[in-house]
Structure 1
């Protein structure tokens, strides 16, 4: 599979079932001010790119300003919480090869150094699956800005022991009964992967996922303790994130080789509580090519980072933006997905 870095032609978009003016419509949205702080758009159908746009703008690396960037196909960009969805895939790959216990395994048994916490009867029922679905039932607050030290993810990063900080949170709901957005949940999954495979999370990702996909460059930000952030630290170029999306659409196959099991991917993308799967968001959206709305799946990240998938249309789309910590950061990527990509998909 190859992903070109040059803009696809009008004829190519039309051949893939899209309005040939789709790129012009994207530019019109930018010029009108309806699409703000957009850095990159890269979208493909049936592994062929039909929309590609690289802009220039101010950017950050895990909250640290890095100035004005001219983005291109080789630019590493924060995924922020899209990282969580990649970690879900990595757990599935580790599970397929017997390196980690299954989702129904007790969580605290994998952290024996916290025997005092494990002795709490309220925590006995918590499983790995609850971490994968953010249904631990533990107190966690990421509604505060990420510059606020009381934001739970920031507090975790500043804690002397990140795992004790997570595991000792007060129980406020029965495990599995309530979805609470939690970078702490994913930090636990990352630790389970590392303990199972005997490698750091970035090293396992390189070996088990990135190398088979031909992804040679990435960066994974780590906290002061040297632990790579499973919740938000990964940086990838847009074409490489698109490859991961296409791997999901192919149910784990890449160039005829099995990288992840179809069973894991199907389970990950199945909503278990509300609109949430195993560290993936789920929903449906209309497209003119279909008589009824079709299911989509997505990895979402702070600032407007998105990996969108619509399997029935065989569409994968990557959107990078720079509206970090803004309440309306969701607006631009949602408009690009629904009003530019799906609204101009005319012929299935």
Structure 2
């Protein structure tokens, strides 16, 4: 059974100037280093703007990267409320099988609230050490890494800290995060099914890997904006939203970029304090912005390494659009915005659906990677009555585990395939000797650009944003079989 839609409203009725939203859309689409995928804006509990840039669509789940952390903290809050978890307990107490090995006094002093606030005492991200090739238990390895300072005194954006928090929740509840959250949070919110990547231990990662729709992000943000109340029902402990959003560890100047103003305001329980409100966010521009002072939630997905620029544009164009009173005489402007949001699309790569000159020069052609180190090993072209198929072979292709995608070349626009991974391709022949295109992996932020040279028989390919979870091309999708 599908969830009921969020309550809708015309922007003007909620004091939102459609021209400001237009200005934000203009700025996003003009920014060369930002590729927007979706946007939802809620004001006073009403959805006033929502759009997806084709080939991304409303019903498709999207990899949220570190926005996953905010859901993990929410699971920890629920476990605390049920008496299963204590934020002031020692982390090691939840893993008695490792206690004898943990001799460093700082490691033993590490509390749950320290890992929940990125204050384990380490001054670096220990992810490579905790998840090394020969590591069978990341929690044990993390706890064996002596902190550089007393826990609670320094900040480091440290993935194993959140992983350990997630491991505690899964241990004390006896369930994966998705299963634990489903009846307590996801179903009551109308989110329903989500998917979360698991590691070699079978645990859901916690620090990353959650796949959910933009609608799910918006509902999650609205729940926090309302201090855990949803349609009159309390889903989160009273006061938890303020606890989670309160900056517990200073972060100024610690993220390595003087231009990251919204990362310099402190860190709470898996939420960042922003110049305006607070937020959960994930790599490449996955955002849940909660703005209590404006009674606004902004949910967005995108592909960008310029996340501060994205926030700068939001503050510049959207904040002035949130007025104190309803606006009158704005029906035409609201209708124009609604029409624009309904036709958003990413520009497809250019190209013809048929080659220049003789088809037989291309039919059956095989192209091999020109550098031997890219994401693709080879590409091949075949022709049938319905047109051309481009077969991509990933660099992780094995006889017992094929890593291949078959994509139809259709010329203008995007052509979507659902298997073996949801992907969309655009492009075609740009001249007599070159076939070029883009492949968008629709359940992730990632786009692959490729070029095949007929004269050289070579293939070049590169990511516009490189996936952070290693794996084959066929793994660039939400895991199936989640709850």
- 1:339 is displaced (CA, Å) by 2.2
Is the 1:3–1:49 Cα contact (8 Å) retained in structure 2? no
CA distance in 1, matches of 2:23, 2:234: 38
- 1:26 is displaced (CA, Å) by 3.1
| CA separation of 1:90 and 1:191: change in aligned 2, threshold 3 A | same
CA-based RMSD of the aligned residues comes to: 2.3
CA distance in 2, matches of 1:343, 1:114: 53
**Residue equivalent to 1:71:** 56
CA distance in 2, matches of 1:338, 1:2: 30
1:20 aligns with 2:10: no
Alignment partner of 1:272 out of 230, 243, 248: 248
- 1:36 is displaced (CA, Å) by 1.8
Alignment partner of 2:275 out of 272, 284, 303: 284
**Structure (1 or 2) with the larger CA radius of gyration:** 2
Q: How does 1:19-168 map to 2 (within 5 A)?
A: 19-33=17-31, 36-56=34-54, 70-100=55-85, 102-138=86-122, 140-141=124-125, 152=128, 155=131, 159-168=135-144
| CA separation of 1:256 and 1:163: change in aligned 2, threshold 3 A | same
More strand by share: 2
RCO greater where, 1 or 2, for CA within 8 Å and sep 6 or more?
1
Deviation sequence 1:63-95 (CA, Å, 0-9, x none): xxxxxxx22221101111011011111110111
Q: TM-score, normalised by structure 1?
A: 0.82
| CA separation of 1:83 and 1:157: change in aligned 2, threshold 3 A | farther
**Residue equivalent to 2:291:** 310
CA distance in 2, matches of 1:169, 1:340: 45
CA distance in 1, matches of 2:162, 2:282: 14
| CA separation of 1:281 and 1:96: change in aligned 2, threshold 3 A | same
**Residue equivalent to 2:315:** 338
The SS at the match of 2:275 is strand
Alignment partner of 2:211 out of 226, 235, 240: 235
Alignment partner of 1:255 out of 219, 222, 231: 231
| CA separation of 1:26 and 1:277: change in aligned 2, threshold 3 A | same
Q: TM-score, normalised by structure 2?
A: 0.60
CA distance in 1, matches of 2:34, 2:46: 26
1:225 aligns with 2:210: no
Deviation sequence 1:145-184 (CA, Å, 0-9, x none): xxxxxx5388358732111221111320111100110111
Is the 1:304–1:330 Cα contact (8 Å) retained in structure 2? no
**Residue equivalent to 1:213:** 189
- 1:121 is displaced (CA, Å) by 2.3
| CA separation of 1:311 and 1:97: change in aligned 2, threshold 3 A | same
CA distance in 2, matches of 1:233, 1:195: 19
CA distance in 1, matches of 2:227, 2:134: 38
| CA separation of 1:156 and 1:336: change in aligned 2, threshold 3 A | farther
Deviation sequence 1:229-285 (CA, Å, 0-9, x none): 100011110111111111111111112111111222221111112211111101333
Structure 1: which 5+ runs fail to align? Answer: 57-69, 143-150, 286-295
Structure 2: which 5+ runs fail to align? Answer: 251-265, 326-483
Deviation sequence 1:169-207 (CA, Å, 0-9, x none): 132011110011011111111111111111112211212
Is the 1:94–1:193 Cα contact (8 Å) retained in structure 2? yes
